[in-house]
Chain A
Amino acid sequence: MSAATQAAPSRPRRSLRTRGRNRFGYLLLAPQMIGFTAVGLVAIVWVIWLSLHDVNVLAGSQDFVGLDNYARILTDPSMITVLPNTFFFVCVLSVAGTVIALLLAVLLNQKLRGIGIFRSIVFIPALVTMVAWALVWSFIVQPEGLLDALLGAVGVEALPWLRGGWLTLVVFAVIQLTKNVGINVMILLGALQAVPQELIEAARIDGAGRVRVLRSVVVPQISPAIMMVFMLMIVGSFKVFEVVMLLTEGGPGVQSSVLAFEIYKQGFLLNDVGYASALAVLLFAVILLLTAALWQARKRVVFHEND
C-alpha cells in the first residue's frame, strides 16, 4: 500500500517530464522537418504530379496523360544505352571506389614521416569543384592533348577518349573516382585509427599475419564505415552529371549519357518537363529501393554497429 501510494503521484510527474522532453525534441527537429517538407516533400509530390502530364512550358499548358510518360521510357530507344551506362557507373564507382578508398586508407594509416603530405595529396581533389576538375581533365583527354602526347612518346597511337563507347565511360569513371576518393579515404582513415590496438596485438600474438589481421580484425571493426562509404558511392554514382555535361553532353548520340543528364536535357533543353519528371521519378525510385535493400543487408555484413 505504501509502495502504491508512493508510486502513484510519481507517474504523472514522469509523464509530464517525458512529454516536455518530447516537445523539446520536436522543437529541435522542427527546422529540419519544415525545411524538408517545404523543399523536399513538396518538390517530390510536384514532380510526380508533373510526370502524369504533358507540359508545354512555352504555351503554359498541362494536359493529363496518365502513365504515358512512364510508358515512353519503355519505348524510348535512347534508354537502351542510357540505363546500362547509369548502372555501369553505379557498379564501377561503388565497388572500385570503396575498394580503392580502403586500400589508400590502409596505406595512409602508416606511421611515416611526412605521411600528412600524402594524405593531403589524396584529399586535395575533393576540395576542387567538379566543374574545375572536369575542365582540367578535358585538356588531358582532348584530341592531341596530354594523354595522347604521353601515349605518342611511347609509340602508342592516340585514342578517341571522348568519342563514346566503353572507353569514354571508363574515362568518366576515372575522373569521378579521382575526384571523390579523398573524402572516402578520410572517412575510412578515421575508422581505421579508431580500431583498438589491443585487438590487433592480440591477433598478432595468436600468430596472425598482416593480411589476416586486416581481414579478420580490422575490416570487421571498420565495417560500419565501409558500409557507409559504399552507400554514399551508390547514391552519388546515380547522380553523375557534371562530367557528362562538360565533356561530351552525352554524345555522340547518347553513347556517354546517363539518367541524371537525360533528365536535365529533356527538362531544360528540350522543354519536355513531363517526360523529364517521369525519368526523375524513376531515378528516385531506383535509388530508394537500392538504398533500402542495402540497409537491410547491412545486418549481415556490418559488425559492431551499436558500439
Chain B
Amino acid sequence: MRRRTFLTGAGLAGVTAGSTGCLPGFSRTRPGSEGITLRMTMWSSNPDHLSLFQEIADDFLAEHEEVSGIEFESLGLDQLDMVLTTGMTAGDPPDLTWLPVESSREYIDAGALLDVAPTLASTPDYDVDDLVPELQERWRAGEAQYGVPFSTGPLIMYFNRTLYSEAGVDSPADLLAAGDWTWESFRETSRQLTEATGLPGYVVNDFDFQNWTRLLPLMEAYGASPWDEDAVRCTADAPEMADALGLFHSMVFEDGSSPVPGRQVDFFGGQAGSTTAFLGSSTLLDGVDFEWDVLPTPGGPAGDIQSVGQSAIVALSAGRQQEAALAFLAHLTARANAEKISRFFPPSRASLLNAEVLAQSSGLLSAEQLEPVVEAISGSGHIFPVAPNGARVANALDSSLDEFVYTPEADLDEALPRVCTAIDPVISA
C-alpha cells in the first residue's frame, strides 16, 4: 500500500513537473514585449547586411515609441516560401519580408501583400516620384503598390583575368574590345580555356541545374522565353529557345567547358574562367588571389539584352502589426536609407541610379566597371519574366529541363515540346 501511494505520488509529481516544464515552451517571450515587435525575413546572413538593416531599424525605433523591437531572420532563398507559408498556417508569419520578383504575381494575386502606396504618399521626404516607374511595374496593380524594390540588378559576367592571361586565350574583355562579344564567341574561348587549363571556362553561378532564371542572359540574347508576354502559353519549344539551350548543352556535354550536373565548381574559389552572377556576389571577390573583371553578359541574335533580377521589401497581409510594418517599409526604402542600402544592392531610385554613387558605396568595383550595370538597369535590361502560380511553374520548368534537356543524349527538338507539355497545364491552371 505504501509502495503504491509512493508510486502514485511520484507519477503525479512527474506529470505535474512535466506539464509545467513544457508550458514555457509554448509561449514566446520577445525582447520588449510591452510594445510591438516586428519580424522581417531576408535571405542574407552577411553580417554587413544585417548590421546595416539593424542600424536603419534602430533609427526607426527611436522615432516610433510604439514599436519596441525589430527582429531580422536570415534564411536561404530556397526556404523562403516554406517559411512564409508555414508561418501563415501557424498564424505566426513575419510582418515583412524580402521577396523575389519571380514570386510577385503569385503573392499579389493571392492578396498576400499589403498595399503600401498610401503609406509612401504620406511619409514625409519619401519622394515617391524618385522611384523609377519602369522598375516598379511588377509590384504595382492600378494605383496600388505591393512592395518597394530594394535590389534591381542584372546578371553580369565575372571573369578570371589571370587564368585567361596564363592560358593565352582571348578574354571576354578582348572579345568586347574586338566587337565580338557574343555567346558563340564566348563558347569558343571557353572551350579553348578548358583545353589549355583543364578548368571549366564557364560556370553558371547559383544554378545547380535547378534554377532556370540563371540561364536568362543566354535565353534573352537569343530572344527566347519560357512563356509569352501574358504568361498564358508556353514558348519553350520555340526555335530561339532551341538555339539558346543548344549552345549551353554543347558547352556542357560536347565541349566540357561547363560542369556537368552534380559537379560542384566555384568561380570565386578560382576553379573556373568565368561566371554569370549578380552584383552582390562581388563581395566574394574580396581577398581572392587572382585578377578579375566584370562585363555585361554577351549578346546574341536578339541583341545585347541584359537580364535583370529584382527583389522588393513587402509587408504581409497575414502579419499581425500591419500599420507598423507599412511604416517600417516606408522608412527602409525612403531616399536616405535607400542610399545606404545601395552600398550592397543596386537601387531603383533615379537619383541613386548612377555609376558614381554605386562605386562610392562599393569597395570593390569602379565607376567604369559599374557603368554597364547601370545601363542594363535603366536601359537595355529585361526584368525576369513572371508567371502566375510562380512556384509551381518554376518547379515544372526546372524539373522538366533537368529531365529532358540536361542530359548528354538530349535531342532538343524532341525535348523542348516535352518541357511545354510539363509546364502548360500549370501556367493555364
Residues of A within 8 A of B (CB): 20, 24, 27-28, 30-31, 56-60, 142-144, 160, 162-164, 249, 251-255, 265, 268-273
Contacts and interface: CB of A to CB of B under 8 A. Distances in A.
Contacts of B264: 142
A270 B262 contact: no
B106 interface: yes
B86 A268 contact: yes
B124 interface: no
Interface stretch (B5-13, B173-181, B345-353): B5-13
Most A C-beta atoms less than 10 A away, residue of B81, B85, B89: B85
Interface stretch (B159-167, B319-327, B377-385, B402-410): B402-410
Given A31-B18, A251-B210, A269 B391 contact: yes
A269 B8 CA distance: 48
Given A27-B12, A59-B111, 7 more contacts: A24-B4, A59-B110, A143-B261, A163-B407, A252-B402, A253-B403, A269-B395
B112 interface: yes
Which 10 A/B pairs are nearest by Cβ-Cβ distance?
Answer: A253-B403, A58-B110, A59-B110, A252-B403, A143-B263, A58-B112, A252-B402, A268-B82, A57-B85, A143-B262
A58 B107 contact: yes
B318 interface: yes
Interface in B234-261: 259-261
Interface string B95-123: 00000000000110011100000000000
Contacts of B354: none
Interface of B: 4, 7-8, 11-12, 14-15, 18, 81-82, 85-86, 88-89, 106-107, 110-112, 210, 259-264, 317-318, 391-392, 395, 399-400, 402-404, 406-407
A142 B265 CA distance: 12
A164 B4 CA distance: 61
A142 B106 contact: no
A273 B402 contact: no
Contacts of A160: 262
Nearest to B408: A160
A143 B263 CA distance: 5
Contacts of B400: 253
Contacts of A268: 81-82, 85-86
A57 B106 CA distance: 12
Nearest to B391: A270
A31 B259 CA distance: 55
Contacts of B402: 251-253
Contacts of A31: 14-15, 18
A300 to B, nearest CB: 39
Given A253-B399, A255-B403, A270 B392 contact: yes
Contacts of A273: 85, 89
10 contacts: A57-B89, A59-B111, A60-B317, A143-B261, A162-B262, A252-B261, A253-B399, A254-B399, A268-B85, A270-B392
Given A162-B262, A271-B391, A27 B110 contact: no
A269 B12 CA distance: 44
A254 B81 CA distance: 21
A247 to B, nearest CB: 9
B8 A27 contact: yes
A273 B89 CA distance: 10
A58 B107 CA distance: 7
A58 B407 contact: no
Contacts of B81: 268-269, 271
B85 A164 contact: no
Most A C-beta atoms less than 10 A away, residue of B12, B89, B406: B89
A160 B318 CA distance: 45
Most A C-beta atoms less than 10 A away, residue of B18, B106, B264: B264
A98 to B, nearest CB: 32
B319 to A, nearest CB: 12
A253 B423 CA distance: 12
Contact of B263 (A56, A142, A251, A269): A142
A59 B392 CA distance: 16
A268 B81 CA distance: 7
A270 B399 CA distance: 13
A144 B263 contact: yes
A270 B403 contact: no
A28 B110 CA distance: 48
A271 B395 CA distance: 12
Contacts of B406: 252
Contacts of A265: 395
Contacts of B106: 58
Contacts of A58: 85, 88, 106-107, 110-112
Nearest to A50: B89
B257 to A, nearest CB: 15
A269 B82 contact: yes
A164 B407 CA distance: 11
Nearest to B107: A58
Contacts of B210: 249, 251
Most B C-beta atoms less than 10 A away, residue of A20, A271, A273: A271
A100 B18 CA distance: 41
Contact of B110 (A56, A255, A272): A56
A251 B12 contact: no
